[in-house]
Amino acid sequence: MLPRYAPEQLEAMIQRERIDTAIITSLDRTHAELIDRALRAGADVVVEKPLATDAEGCRRIVSAVTDTGRDVVMTFNYRYAPRNSTLRQVIRSGQIGEVTSVHFEWALDTRHGADYFRRWHREKSNSGGLIVHKSSHHFDLVNWWLDDEPARVYASGALRFYGAENAARRGLGPRPARGTEAPADRWSIDLAADPRLRALYLDAEHHDGYRRDQDPFAPGVTIEDNLSVLVDYRKGATLTYSLNAHSPWEGYRVTVNGTAGRAELEVVERGAVLLDGDKDAVLDPSATPEISAGARVRPEGDRLVVQRHWEAAREVPIPAGIGGHGGGDAILLMDVFRRDLRTSEDPLGRAADYVDGLRAVSVGIAANESLATGQPIPAEELALAGAAIR
């Protein structure tokens, strides 16, 4: 079961309490309806990605913005991470010339990646799959780095690691129905062991029956865990993108090729997910000497290298960030909630609106259609629909 929601209550609350701004952080499939209702009830909206999960939802939002003239702000916090901002500066400076292609590889490890297959995200009807839910962040980064709009998308992918069929094929044997019943299982999450998770989920199950700790290898998983996408942009660049949800480390690599050179960004967010003697995940290997002794741990951090044609490579300094998402969360919150302090002169243009949200999800939505049909799909219709009334 999933948490219940009553969208009509949002309208009544906004009007009764004279709310200025509604913050939407609900199930992905509910975003479009709640944004529509909030705007028409008289409130601006701040919404977590993705903006919507299908084309119908995107058009509904465009219609509501057109009719009401109200604002929709996207919380694309990865734009604010110093490493991503620095790459934006490098591209805009012209150091590598005109961009011809981008390769973007994102690796989700067996802790974070598996979590999408334990939760409501595992059903594509709720999340649009990782290509919409997770990858909207990534596609927004590329759109923002290039200052361009996606035009055509071709995608390939499948569920190749998680899910019941893959578990049976690899001979994993009987699986626990939920992680809290099998805390020693390396794929499980024990809600009872964490006071915060227990209060948020386990102790609240009697309200709606939602289980946060489902087995990622249970039947019912309908999203992909391996995805590859090819995106053509209006100005001529091409993006090749890949997402893997069962990597032994977590982070991403971006290569930007230009007419004058190349920029390469590598980010290691977590170098390894190791296990202790009880098969529990150890996220800080240095805290467990018996594991870390002699172990080669991938160093965490980020590195940006630029190399122009006929020159030696040089490393570009990345300012230190403090806090979540590479240090981007705190700056984003200032843009979203302290508009009196927001600078309209941000040379990086990091604040994002619903048109940026449209451009990001247009790639994922077109990718889902491409996965279903095996054909390349135009993506610019959704992106341009919002830009026309910006």
pLDDT digits (tens, 9 = 90+) for 348-367: 889 899 999 999 999 999 99
Tell me if the pTM is above 0.75: yes
What was the pLDDT predicted at 323? 59
Kindly state the greatest CA–CA separation across the chain: 66
Task: Report the pLDDT averaged over residues 256-267.
Answer: 98
- Grade residue 176 by pLDDT with cuts at 50, 70 and 90: confident
- Grade residue 265 by pLDDT with cuts at 50, 70 and 90: very high
Of the candidate CATH numbers 3.40.50.720, 3.30.360.10, 3.30.300.30, 2.60.200.20, the domain formed by 77-162+221-322+356-377 belongs to: 3.30.360.10
Task: Report the pLDDT averaged over residues 367-374.
Answer: 96
CB 75 within 8 A of CB 46: yes
What was the pLDDT predicted at 11? 79
- Grade residue 342 by pLDDT with cuts at 50, 70 and 90: low
- Grade residue 86 by pLDDT with cuts at 50, 70 and 90: very high
Judge whether residue 174 has pLDDT over 90.
no
What was the pLDDT predicted at 19? 87
List the domain boundaries for the chain. 77-162+221-322+356-377, 177-214
Task: Report the pLDDT averaged over residues 195-224.
Answer: 94
Judge whether residue 389 has pLDDT over 80.
no
Which comes out higher in pLDDT, residue 246 or 179?
A: 246
Mean pLDDT over each residue of the chain, to the nearest integer? 88
Residues 26-67: tens digit of each pLDDT:
999 999 999 999 999 999 999 999 999 999 999 999 999 999
Give the tokens for residue 212: 């946060």
Residue with tokens 């467990």: 288
What was the pLDDT predicted at 8? 73
- Grade residue 339 by pLDDT with cuts at 50, 70 and 90: low
Residues 297-338: tens digit of each pLDDT:
688 999 999 999 999 999 999 987 665 655 666 667 667 665
Judge whether residue 189 has pLDDT over 80.
yes
Judge whether residue 2 has pLDDT over 50.
no
Residues 90-126: tens digit of each pLDDT:
999 999 999 999 999 999 999 999 999 999 999 999 9
Judge whether residue 382 has pLDDT over 80.
no
Task: Report the pLDDT averaged over residues 173-192.
Answer: 86
Mean pLDDT check: name the lowest of 18-22, 122-126, 217-221, 241-245: 18-22
- Grade residue 380 by pLDDT with cuts at 50, 70 and 90: confident
- Grade residue 1 by pLDDT with cuts at 50, 70 and 90: very low
Mean pLDDT check: name the lowest of 135-139, 197-201, 291-295: 291-295
